[in-house]
Amino acid sequence: MNANQPVPLRRFTVDQLDVRVFPDRITCGLAAARHVAALMRGQLRLKPKLSMVFGAAPSQNEFFAALTDEIALDWSRVIAFQMDEYIGLPPNDPRVLRHYFEKHLYSRKRPGETPFLVPDATDVHAECQRYAELLSHHPLDISCVGIGESCHLAYNDPHVAKFDDPEVVRVVEVDEISRLQQVHDGTAKRTEDAIVKAYTLTIPALMNVRHVSCVAPGKVKAAAVARTITEPIDERCPSTILRKHPSAVLFLDRDSASKSE
């Protein structure tokens, strides 16, 4: 860990997963940003373009704020993919996840390419194929993910998660816990109003990369984090797959780690 990297309160390994706990959300996000920025610089020294995927959720706010403050990063050489998107919304609907990126990333640092999933595509399965083809042309180097309250990665909730999924992008139905998370995140006022269908990159698409950075702060994530760390590696808790990646780091704050002590 370099001198500019915040020092964690605790650091430990679970299987292959490097877990780092920081005092608060801001320090957690800063540590993740410094780590990801170093990975980005390393990859950009080796290749002309860098392919990444990002998640869109309030849990990532501090990470994006710190990452866009990083210097000496050539964003013009970055291809920034979405890991999920809601289905059935008009493009100008504020709930469309692309607007999150416009606010928290693109308005401050504009990647060279920003392929996005079309929320109101007339043929959602064709849209999955289109996005999968883009990913095949630009294989991912780094996945920047979060952990959902259902232990999902992207929208791979337990009822649809497959560690050996042959697909790259698929259409899924959002489970009840993830609908409740939309309420916690401010996307919906009630679970009855939550969006029920989404595109998602699959587990293999997210994990077959050189590096994975996972940011999961906040008390609301404590139970899912504890399950991620302690339960058997199983599709019933999709985020446990992080423990099998040879270069994955899980960034937590004191709150999200509170049930893992």
| d(C-alpha 179, C-alpha 184), whole Å | 9
* Residue 6 within a domain: no
Residue 258 lies in a domain: no
93 backbone φψ class: left, alpha, beta (φ>0; ψ -120 to 50): beta
- Strands of 248-253's sheet in order across: 10-14, 17-22, 248-253, 211-215, 142-145, 50-54, 78-82
Tell me if 2 is assigned to some domain. Answer: no
Give pTM, 2 decimals.
0.95
pLDDT above 60: residue 201: yes
Q: Residue 7 above 80 pLDDT? A: yes
pLDDT-derived band at 196 (thresholds 50, 70, 90) equals confident
In the predicted model, what is the mean pLDDT of residues 224-229? 98
Q: Which domain holds residue 188?
A: 16-253
Give the mean pLDDT of 210-222.
Answer: 97
Q: Which two tokens stand for residue 82?
A: 């979405």
Residue 134 lies in a domain: yes
> What's residue 3's pLDDT?
53
pLDDT digits (tens, 9 = 90+) for 46-80: 999 999 999 999 999 999 999 999 999 999 999 99
Judge whether 105 lies within some domain: yes
Q: Is the pLDDT of residue 90 over 60?
A: yes
* 5 in a structural domain: no
Question: What is the token pair recorded at 128?
Answer: 């999955």
User: How many structural domains comprise the chain?
Assistant: 1
Tens of pLDDT, residue by residue over 245-254, are 999 999 999 9
Neighbours of 75 (CB within 10 A): 18
8 lies in some domain: no
Share of the chain above pLDDT 90, in %: 89
Question: Is 212 among the domain residues?
Answer: yes
Which has the closest alpha carbon to 181: 207, 202, 213, 154? 154
CATH number for position 59: 3.40.50.1360
Residue-level pLDDT at 30 = 98
pLDDT of residue 47: 96
According to DSSP, the residues that pair with 50 across neighbouring strands are: 78
Both tokens of 107, joined, read 């308005």
pLDDT mean over 86-94: 94
Compute the distance between CA of residue 58 and CA of residue 100 in angstroms, rounded to an integer.
9
pLDDT at residue 40, as a whole number: 98
